[in-house]
Chains A and B, each alone.
Chain A
Amino acid sequence: MAQTLAEKIIAKAAGVGSVKPGEIVTCKVDLAMMHDSAGPRMAGRKLDELGVPIWDLDKLVVITDHYINDDNPEHQGVQKHAHEWIKSHGIKHFINEQGICHIVLPEGGHVKPGMFIVGGDSHSVTGGAFGTFMVGIGATEMTGVLATGEIWVRVPETVKIDVTGTLKPGVAAKDVILKLCGDHGIMGFNYQALEYAGTAVSAMSVEERMTLANMAAELGAKAGYCVPDEKTDAILTKWGATDVDIATWQSDEDANFVKTVTIDGDALVPQVAAPSSPENAAPIDAHAGTKLDQAYLGACTGAKLDDLRMAAKVLKGRKIQSGFKFMISPSSLSMQEEARADGTLQIIEDAGGVILPMGCSGCIGIGPSRLEENAVGISSTNRNFVGRAGPKSSKLFLASPYTVAASAIKGAIADPREFL
């Protein structure tokens, strides 16, 4: 039976020949990822209550990224417990403060096309950029996976997102995904799997595809993925994965997509999501000129190497508005180092940007980039719900790294195309 990549991966994990949307199956997970926030301190403690061992130490990766780089004693307590738990449970794969989980998991060579992966975080869908089926789960559910290696899944319908044509200079994956949020709403694809395809997606770097996959969470989707190609193979191999198989893990030509949503890549313009939901996305003209207090490049969505390079393209030879706060928290340490080595960070700093320690921080309102009372910010992160990045009175716009950088130059929301 012809199947989508999502269906193929679920069928393999469930040990059956094929699956149909709506069916409920029990899958064996190929890999589980958890971070300091929901991992050892929640799922870990619950596993200890159950008093059973971890089902397979080779298939678990624990990452510290949420409560790092700050001196809050409560956060330090979270880290202390995490380290003790890692030790006492003989965890084999522990990535300590190297970057945000969704980035350092593939960077660590753990991810390969065809894998069925669960992550203890809603943006775990990011792994779909590599041709996996990767879903986010909560802490108790993770406890079940740690104990049994299994999880139930309702097979989702697959929707094809066809991004046609070629994205114009200054338009990025973030604009594609914000456009989808604006058109379809924050739950527009609830319970469904999204396959991002089309010429514009093929032309994207794998890091850009990660942005699409990451924000499948903001569309309510269970998973968002791209079928793997040579670029996927190249980057995963560079990151240390072995035996990457791209040929097997493709959707069948006559697979059953419940529908196809087309985005005209040629016509797409930069998008900005107004406070306080990604679904408030609109073309940049709707908000250009809105005064801002700060700009932030960060999170698993918007401070990868490619994101930093996009910002640098806009900022090269320019200065940000004087007195304006522009902060950057790279997505991972290795990406930060690469951006340091190739001069990208220098360009950003010369323009007046301040590099903060890498990690989640600003995305969840922790650290120096937390918005102040009544402050208005723009950021390359994925969520702008009330109270997430600052107090209730603060406001946050979401945009691409290009647009965030252009806005830092003007101190107001600005169209990056005038700087490219």
Chain B
Amino acid sequence: MSIIKGNAWRYGANIDTDALAPIGSYAGATNIEAGAVHCLRDMDPNFAKSVKTGDIFVATDNLGIGSSRESAPLFLKTLGIRCVVAKSFARIFYRNCFNIGLPALVCPDSRDIAMADVLKVDTSTGEIVDETQDKSFHCQPIPDHLMQIVDEGGLMPYLEKKLAKSA
């Protein structure tokens, strides 16, 4: 069981990878910290400055549309985000989240979560407790094959273990 507690950064629909990882900021792919400060700069310049470790990123429809660039979820993780919640995800972004060790939860009612709400997320059951609103939200449970990757902390540690076993 893994509980993540933090503040919600709640945004709307269609947040694309050009917004999350603007071109130019991700050219320095080997310097993720330097790129991450540009995350959402055109949409909410306050985000990268103020987000804290343990915070939770909440969006409505179609989070992560656009490019396959992994820097989009990686910037969120680097800035401290520990879980992303959305009503729906773009498929490559969704996979990228798990691969880099950032659990992604599909929450049909994510729009009812408000900016800065204090959330307690249980990634193993998909349950979100919104302490500010004193309310619960139910997410689709993370599929088993992805839970294995979540448990290892991402695809890299998962592969390390798997390859070591088969060696």
Contact = CB atoms under 8 A, between A and B. Distances in A.
A49 interface: yes
Interface stretch (A37-45, A261-269, A324-332, A403-411): A37-45
Tier of interface size on chain A: 35 or more
A222 B143 CA distance: 18
A138 B30 contact: no
Q: Describe B's contact surface by its main secondary structure.
A: loop
A139 to B, nearest CB: 5
Interface in B52-84: 61-62, 65-70
A187 B42 contact: no
B88 interface: yes
Contact of A137 (B30, B61, B95): B95
A141 B99 contact: yes
Contacts of A383: 18, 66
B113 interface: no
Contact of B91 (A37, A140, A220): A220
Contacts of A72: 27
A136 interface: yes
B163 interface: yes
A66 B85 CA distance: 31
Contact of A143 (B18, B67, B90, B156): B156
Interface in A34-81: 37-38, 41-42, 45-46, 49-50, 52, 67, 72, 74-75, 78
Nearest to A46: B156
Given A138-B69, A143-B159, A385 B18 contact: yes
B16 interface: yes
Nearest to A154: B143
Given A50-B160, A147-B159, A140 B18 contact: no
Contact of A140 (B61, B88, B155): B155
Nearest to B31: A74
A392 interface: yes
Contact of B28 (A74, A364, A365): A74
B124 interface: no
Contact of A136 (B65, B88, B92, B160): B92
A277 B155 contact: no
A386 B43 CA distance: 10
Contacts of A220: 62, 65, 90-91
A141 B155 CA distance: 7
A42 B29 contact: yes
Contact of A38 (B28, B66, B69, B154): B69
Interface string B126-162: 0000000000000000010100000000111001101
A148 B42 contact: no
A251 interface: no
A364 B99 contact: no
A46 B30 CA distance: 11
Interface in A264-317: 277
A203 interface: no
A-B complex: 7 closest residue pairs judged by Cβ atoms: A140-B99, A138-B96, A138-B70, A122-B68, A385-B18, A187-B62, A392-B42
Interface of B: 14, 16, 18-19, 22-24, 27-30, 42, 61-62, 65-70, 88, 90-92, 95-96, 99-100, 143, 145, 154-156, 159-160, 162-163
Given A220-B65, A385-B16, 11 more contacts: A38-B68, A45-B30, A46-B156, A141-B96, A141-B99, A141-B155, A144-B155, A186-B65, A187-B61, A187-B88, A365-B23
20 contacts: A38-B68, A38-B70, A46-B156, A50-B160, A50-B163, A122-B67, A138-B70, A139-B68, A140-B154, A141-B95, A143-B159, A144-B159, A148-B159, A186-B62, A220-B62, A220-B91, A366-B23, A383-B66, A385-B19, A387-B18
